[in-house]
Every structure is written in structure tokens, then in C-alpha cells.
Amino acid sequence: MISKEVQSFLLKEALANFMRYVKVWTTSDDNSTTSPSTQNQLDLAKLIAEESKQLGLENIIQDEYGYVYAFLSASKGLEHIPTIGFIAHIDTAPSVKGKDVMPIIHRNYDGTVIKFPKNEEIILSIEDSPQLENYIGMDIITSEGMTLLGADDKAGIAEIMAGCAAWKKFPDLKHGPIVICFTPDEEIGKGTANIDKEKLPRVCYTLDGSEMGELEFECFDAWKAKITFKGINIHPGDAKNLMVNAIHIASRFLADIPESESPEHTENREGFFHLGSLEGTVEQAEANMIIRDFDLKNNERRMNYLKILKDAYELRYPKLEIKLNFEHQYQNMYQYIKKEEKVIDLAKKAIEMANLDLIIHPIRGGTDGSKLSEMGIPTPNIFTGGQMFHSKKEYIPIIALQKAAEVIINLAYLWTN
């Protein structure tokens, strides 16, 4: 068991790290063609690299793509232990503003509505997030209400760095060789696009989950769909039988996608279509969506449905042209991890050692671990404690920062045995 002194240290370190990291603007950009997609991600990468030196880590690399790698030598006599890795991502989601984040702490949460000082239009309540009820009497961090908070995934970075600080301060915390890696552009599905696999060990863990106690080793099979509608623009006074209004037709097309298969109507193992954007004019319109399911066959069914709609609409509007472009983003990691019993079992035990109830469920999303597992590095996902990611209502209980750091310490110790 981790001593109260170590627990107190982990809480202090992880909290200080988190409050510092979330203020660094690292929003990624799905429309960018560079890597990293935004240069501001390099600011946090540089800060982490500098702090890694102060913590005594070795072989520290911050590369031009925004990745940070660092190595921690094993405790004396444990150099032969298998190396494990801990990974978190630097960027935050582009769906909500991530610049000028100002975190605030709501002390001793009393179960009532949380108000945001800079945005009176939103509130956070137990109705919004039932998990809030578990944190009554605890301290909770939110943004001021104009931005997301950035717990996804700066909480993961803060917790890993707190673990490294504890290993330096408390040499009796035994561990084998450890690699830490922080990645850019995870939120836009490019977190492993330029990762150096040779710098990673055979087994890794991402810190990118949500509720305290969560362990995830199954995720969506993920596709992106780009649908382009090409029409014909004619003066509306002379448009009869001539105009083909691309954006109007696109709206009808998208309305024909089953509402029951949208994110707001699905849960657990149910998949969905999710329209992210629709832009255009009479002449041309473009829709971008993601398609998700745990079973590839269900996603293939959804893509075939879009192809049937395309044929039907081009028959209905003879001068209309629709182009469909599908891109496979990542696979369900379970097919690669299910045989790695030790990797999963030790993570379960590490969570239970932190006096948390173990929560196992599939990720209704994906992590860098999805791609890494596909690349031959089994990488389950461990909680960070954050809630309501990608939202101005995003929050994290402070205790979760400590508990995730405890799990990191426990996991490294368990691998020594």
C-alpha cells in the first residue's frame, strides 16, 4: 500500500502540474496538413521535456512532430524487469475553444448546481453528470466557462509526471525501466501518425480514460466519411427544372440517416452516425461525419446505407453528383489485447490497490492505444478522472489526479514481480 506521505505528495504534484498544463493552449486542427497540426502544441511539449530533465529522466527527446519521449532507469537491482510505458496526449479537442483556459477550484462541493463565473448561460449539475453525486464533499476543478478545461488529456500528463516526481523523491517505490511518451494530435486521430515505435517498450498504458476506477481495453472501430454534393446554381427567378441546390439536397440526404443511430440516442455497445459539419452553397456542399461501432460489420452496413442513399438521390436528381469518401481511422483494440492477460490483470490489480472499485467497459471512442495495439504494442487505457470531455462543462475531482497517479505507482511495482 502507498503511504499517506506518498499519497499527499502525489496529490500536491498532480494538482500543481494540472493547473499549470491546462493554461497552455494546445488545441489541434483537423483541417491542418502539418504535423503537429498546430505549432502551439510544441509549447507544452517543450515544457514537459524541461520538467523531465528536472525529474532526472534520461534520453529525453522532443522531436519536430511534437512527441516527447523520456526514460526512467529501474530501481537498483531491477534492471532486468520488462520495460513498460505510460502515454498521454498533449492536444485538446478542436470542438470547443481551448485558448486562455483558466481553471478554478470549487471547494467542498455540496451537491448543488455549479455556476461558471465567466459564462452565466451554462451550469453544471448532477442532472448533467450523475457522477457528480459521488464527489459531494470533494474539491472539483472546472474552467471559467468560456473554454473546455483540458482534463482530456492534460490530467493524464499531470498524473504521469507526478508519478515520475514520486519515484525521484521516494526511492523505496520500486519499479523497473519505464518509458514515458506524450503525443500530439490524438483528438484528430493522428496521435501515432509519426510515433517512433522503436522508442516504446513492448507494453504500454495510456492515461486517457474518464471515471475513477475505469480500465478499458476495447474501443470503437472508427471511420470518417466525407460526402460532397455538386449541384447547379441558377438565378432563383429562372430556376425551375434547372437549379440543383446542393446544400438543400444535402440537408434532405442527411435527414434520411436514421435518428436512432445518432450519438444522442445510443449507449453501451450501440454504434452510430455522427454528423460533425455541413457547409456549402447552392453549387456545392460538403458534409463530414464519423461512423462508429464495436463491430466492423455494423460499420460496413452503415457505409453501404450511405452508398444506397447516394444512388437513390442521384436517380431522384439526375444532374446531381455525390461523392463519398471513407477513411478508416482505427480498429477495435480488443482483438489485439485479449490474449495479453498479464497486461490487463496487473492494471486491474493496480486500480484495486488504490482502493477504487474496478470499472470495465468498452471505450465509446478511441485512444492512441487503439493504433499502438494494432502496431503490436498492447496498450490498455486507464482513467484520468475527468468528466464531460470536449465540453465547456468539463470537470475533474482533485482526488482523481491523486488516484490515477497512485495507479501508475502501483502498476510499475506490480510489474517488478
Q: Which of 152, 186, 221, 394 is catalytic?
A: 186
- Give tens-digit pLDDT for 42-61: 999 999 999 999 999 999 99
Q: Cβ neighbours of residue 318 under 8 Å, at least 6 residues apart? A: none
Q: What integer pLDDT is reported at residue 361 of this predicted model?
A: 87
- How many Cβ atoms from other residues are within 10 Å of residue 270's Cβ? 15
Rounded mean pLDDT of the chain? 96
- At 203-259, the pLDDT tens digits run 999 999 999 999 999 999 999 999 999 999 999 999 999 999 999 999 999 999 999
ω into 177 cis (within 30 of 0): no
Is residue 58 part of the annotated active site? The answer reads no
Q: Is 327 exposed, middle or buried (0-12, 13-18, 19+ CB in 10 A)?
A: exposed
Domains of the chain: residue spans and CATH: 4-219+332-415 (3.40.630.10), 222-329 (3.30.70.360)
Place of cell 526514460: 71
Residues listed for the chain = 417
Give tens-digit pLDDT for 296-323: 999 999 999 999 999 999 999 999 999 9
Instruction: Check whether 32 has a pLDDT greater than 90.
Output: yes
Active-site annotation holds for 91: yes
The one catalytic residue among 13, 91, 208, 221:
91
